[in-house]
Amino acid sequence: MSDTIPRLLILLLPDCCPEYLSYSYLFIFQFFSYSPPLLYIKGNSQLLQEKSLAIVGSRNATETSLFFTDQIAMKAALENTVVVSGFAKGVDKQALDSSIKYNANSIIVLPQGIMTFISGYKTYYKQIVEGSVLLLSSFFPKAPWKVELAMARNPIIYGLAKDIYVAESSDKGGTWSGVIDGLRKNRTIYVRKPADDETNANELLIQKGAIPVNSEGIPVLSKSLSADYESKDNTSETIKIDIPSIQNGIIDLLKTGEFTVVQIKNILDLSWDEETISQFLKTYRGVSITNKRPLKFTISNNTNYQTTIFDIEQE
């Protein structure tokens, strides 16, 4: 190893060893049909076994998006959650810097070999040694940065995180394709609700099934759900809808078994449309989605458990 690189142990984890199965259990099966055959890591490997979230977004993010990223990193620190990012400029870099500022743990997923990250070793040497930052790469250790590797790294960022927060996305590129692929695989993805004058593609992602959240990462009501707060009859008399009662009814039903959105709507005779029911179910942290078609929902026995690619047969 070059003398310009701080001398820290690089751990090699092949997918055939027990340690790999233990360390990499946070890879979410909905996103991966395979796991990387090798992981190269430098730092505190225990971070791979802790609760995690990813913050992703544009390299040329606005100040609003960077503020959102900072708030989600602070939320992660308060909840003892590891922040996963990809070390690109913009949202990725802000996620890492804010994590360090708020004393949250971080995983940097590299778009290059782990031995070519020389400037990063020097910058984050203290955090790596102290165990608050872990470097991870699935590429040949001496591989230089390449666009292709950056694109190949993106699914690993998504796969390492249970929760995914999108600060800002255009209608193309790595963030967009990652979110679209995640939604196809029924991942729950939170997207910052944009202001009316913003020109990004956040609203398009929300329309495609992502969960809108405010600047603090709290889910906000969809238009259809907001409309149910107040409805008017022919006499214009306002009728209040008991939202908590509807939600509790859904949760009580799910405790008895697995149900599709259509079944939930019909059994409980709900006024909510199917899109609103689906959004509520994907937002509620205690609800699990079965990995089959049609999708069915139920209440998980352990809401802290994160399903892994090793829990199902790989394709």
- For residue range 44-72, what is the model confidence (pLDDT) as tens digits? 988 988 889 999 999 999 999 999 999 99
Place of tokens 């963030």: 175
Over residues 90-115, the pLDDT tens digits come to 999 999 999 999 999 999 999 999 99
Going from the N-terminus, what domains does the chain have, and what CATH number goes with each?
Answer: 11-213 (3.40.50.450), 223-302 (1.10.10.10)
Over residues 142-182, the pLDDT tens digits come to 999 998 898 888 888 988 888 899 999 999 988 999 899 88
Residue type, 174: G
pTM above 0.75, yes or no: no
**Across 103-201, where does the E strand assignment appear?**
106-109, 133-137, 163-168, 189-192
Task: Work out the average pLDDT over 226-246.
Answer: 46
Gap between the Cα atoms of 159 and 91, Å rounded: 18
Q: What is the pLDDT of residue 244?
A: 64
- Which two three-digit tokens encode residue 75? 């939320």
Q: Helices 174-184 and 147-160: crossing angle, nearest 10°?
A: 40
163 forms bridges with which residues in the sheet?
A: 53
Gap between the Cα atoms of 117 and 108, Å rounded: 11
- Chain-centre distance of CA 43, in angstroms? 22
Task: Work out the average pLDDT over 296-311.
Answer: 53
Cis peptide before 294 (omega within 30 of 0): yes
